[in-house]
A = this chain, B = another copy of it.
C-alpha cells in the first residue's frame, strides 16, 4: 500500500512536472511554420525569404544556393543546387549579399566547377532542412546553432564520396555596379578531418566594404584523401592555398560504404578561423545531429510563443507563424564578432534596411522583445560613436547606402516615446542632429541625409538630386522624430526648430495639381521655387528618380505625424475620403512593384496608408481595405508574399494587421485595424500580456462592431503605447457589416503639441 501511494505520488509528480515543463516550453507553434513561405525567387514578385536553417537572429544562415545567378536568399525552386552556404540575408532586394563558405557534397570524381546537382524531396522545418542531391544519390540534411552549421550527408552509392568547400562562391544576380566582387580566399587543412580558411567579398547591395568570413570545419570521419584548388586548378594532396586574390577551394574524399553517413560541423566567424573553431567547440560539443536540430526547433518555439494566436483558418495560421518566423531572422546578432572595434555590448548587423524595417519590424520587436530592440538601437549608437553616423543600411559590418531619409531617427524616437530603458538618449539626440545638420559628402548616398544645406534653406530638395521627392518627405518625418526626442529631453529650442521643419512637406505640396478628382499633390519643385510641369503622378520611381519605390499618389499621403493637416490640405475629410477611395480602388494590387499604379502593397511607403480612414472617423473603411490586401496579397506557400519581404517588413505588416492594430512608427500611437485572429496573446514580458480577442472574426467578419479595452467600452480607433505597455485586454466584436464604431470618438492624434 505504501509503495502504491509512493508510486502514485511519483507518477503524479512526473505528470505535473512534465506539464509545467510543457507550459514553460509553450505550445509547439513551430509546426505551423513553412520555411519556404515567401521564398519565391522572381525578381519582381518573389518574397526572397530565407528558406534554409537558422536560429532566431542567427549568425549562421545555412541555406541552398541554387542556379548560377542566385536569388538574394540563395534559394530558387528551379534548377540545380550548387551547395549550402553559411551566410545569407532574408527577403532582400537589389543585388544579393553573402552566400559565403559554400559546401557541396558530391560522389565520384572531384569536379571543382559545375558540381551542382539535380535535387528532390526538399523539406524544411525550423532547425532542419533536408534534400536529395539526386545527381549524386546523396541525402543531405542541415541544422544549425547560432554560429555553426551542422551537415549530415548519407552517401547512398558508396565509393568515392566528397565534400567540397568552394571559397570562391558567393551570391550574384544581375551584373551591375552593386554586384558582389571576389577579393580573396584561403584554405588550410589541419588534419584529415579538419580544415579552416576564409573568403573575402566586397559590395553587393549597399556597396559595402570588403568583409571576411572565416570558417573552421570538422568531420566525424577521416578523409581518405584531401586536396585543394585555386582558380579551377586541382592540387591533389595539397594542404593549403594562400590568398593570392584568386578563388580557392578544398575537398575531402571519403571511401564510403553504401549509405554511409558523414557528419560535419562548420563554424563561422568574422574575426578569425580560430574563433570559428571556438564557436564550434562552444556551441556543439557532440555529434548528435538530431540534438542540434531539436534545440534549434526549441529556440524557434520559444520565440514564436511570444505571440500565441487562435486562428481558425489553418492557412491564416500558417501564414501568421511563417511570417513571424521570417520576421525574427534579422538584424543578425553578431555580438562578439565585430572586426572593426571591440565592445562587450550586444551588436547587430544586417540592418537591411532600416528604410524598410522602421515601419513595422522594429515596432514588433519593441513589443515582444524590448531588450533586443534596445540592443539594436544601442548598436546604431555604437556605430555612430565609432564611425560618425548611424547607418540606414548595414551588412557585413559596413554601412551601405541610404535609400531616403535618416530613418534610424525613427527607431530612436520610437524607442524614446515607448520608454525603452538603457539607451543614452542624449547621445541619440546628438546622432539624430548630426544626420539633420552635417552633410554626408561624397556621393551623399552613404550617411545621414543628402542635400541637407538645400533642404534647410529651401525646405525641399530640388529634382536634380536623386530621390529628391521621397527624401524630402522622409526628412520631414525624421525632423518630427528629432523634435519628439528633444521635447522629451527638455531641449525646447531644438524641439521647436525641428517641429518647424516637420512642416516642410508643404513646400513640395502643389495645391493646383488635380488627378482623378484629387487635388493637391507633391510634385517636383525646382531650385528657383518653380514647379516641374507635366509630372506623372502615377510614375513609380527607383533609385535614380524623384521618388523612391513609390509615386506621387503614395508619397502625397506620407505625413505620418500630421495627418490632420494633410486632410486639410487635401480639401477636408470628404475629399480625403474620396481620395483614399480612388487610391485603393483604381488599381489595388500591382504584381510588379516597380510599375505605375496608385497603391502598391509590396512597397513600404504605403505601409501606413490603409489605416488613414481612421483619421476621418471611418475605421470600417480601413478595415475593408486592409483585409482585402491581407486576403488577396498574402497566401500560403513559396509565393505567399507579394514582393520582397525586406527583412521581415512585409511579414511584420501582416502580423500586426492579423492581431488587429498597427504602429505609427516613431510615435506612441497604434491605429486599430481589423483583427483576423480570434485571439492573440502578445507576451511583452514573463508577467505581462496584451490579449486581443476578436469574437467571430473570420474572413467575412472584418468590421469591428464594438470594443472593450480592459473591460471598458472603447470608442476610439487608436491607442497609445502606454495603454498597453503594462499589459492589456482588448476585446472586439466582429461582424460582416460596416459599423459606426469609433466614428464619433476622438480621432487619432496628429501633432499633439505646439510651441
Contacts and interface: CB of A to CB of B under 8 A. Distances in A.
A343 B246 CA distance: 10
Nearest to A241: B274
Contacts of A686: none
Interface of A: 181-184, 186-188, 190, 197-198, 200, 202, 209-210, 212, 240-245, 269, 271-275, 277-278, 336, 339-344, 388-389, 438-444, 447-448, 453
Given A243-B272, A453-B453, 17 more contacts: A181-B341, A182-B342, A183-B340, A184-B271, A184-B342, A190-B190, A200-B271, A200-B339, A202-B341, A210-B341, A212-B339, A240-B274, A242-B272, A242-B275, A243-B269, A243-B275, A244-B278
A274 B336 contact: no
A426 to B, nearest CB: 20
Contacts of A271: 184, 186, 200, 242-245
A187 B339 contact: no
A434 to B, nearest CB: 9
**Copy count, this protein chain:** 2
Q: Closest 9 A-B residue pairs measured CB to CB?
A: A441-B441, A242-B278, A243-B271, A245-B342, A186-B272, A242-B274, A242-B275, A243-B272, A440-B441
A245 B389 CA distance: 23
A100 to B, nearest CB: 15
15 contacts: A182-B342, A183-B339, A186-B275, A200-B271, A209-B340, A210-B341, A242-B271, A243-B269, A243-B271, A243-B275, A244-B336, A245-B343, A438-B441, A440-B441, A442-B447
Secondary structure class of chain A's binding surface, majority of residues: loop
A343 B184 CA distance: 11
Given A244-B336, A339-B200, A438-B441, A274 B183 contact: no
Contacts of A181: 341-342
Given A278-B244, A439-B441, A210 B340 contact: yes
Nearest to A277: B242
Contacts of A183: 339-342
A388 B442 contact: yes
A223 B282 CA distance: 29
A447 B441 contact: yes
Nearest to A271: B243
Central interface residue in A212, A341, A439, by most chain B CB within 10 Å: A341
B340 A202 contact: yes
Nearest to A216: B242
A569 B131 CA distance: 82
Nearest to A340: B210
A210 B441 contact: no
B453 A442 contact: no
Contacts of A336: 244-245
A439 to B, nearest CB: 5
A278 B271 CA distance: 21
A326 to B, nearest CB: 31
Central interface residue in A212, A242, A278, by most chain B CB within 10 Å: A242
Central interface residue in A181, A274, A336, by most chain B CB within 10 Å: A274
Nearest to A245: B342
A209 B387 CA distance: 9
Nearest to A450: B441
Contacts of A186: 271-275
B198 A272 contact: yes
Contacts of A443: 388
Contacts of A440: 441-442
Contacts of A438: 441-442
Nearest to A439: B441
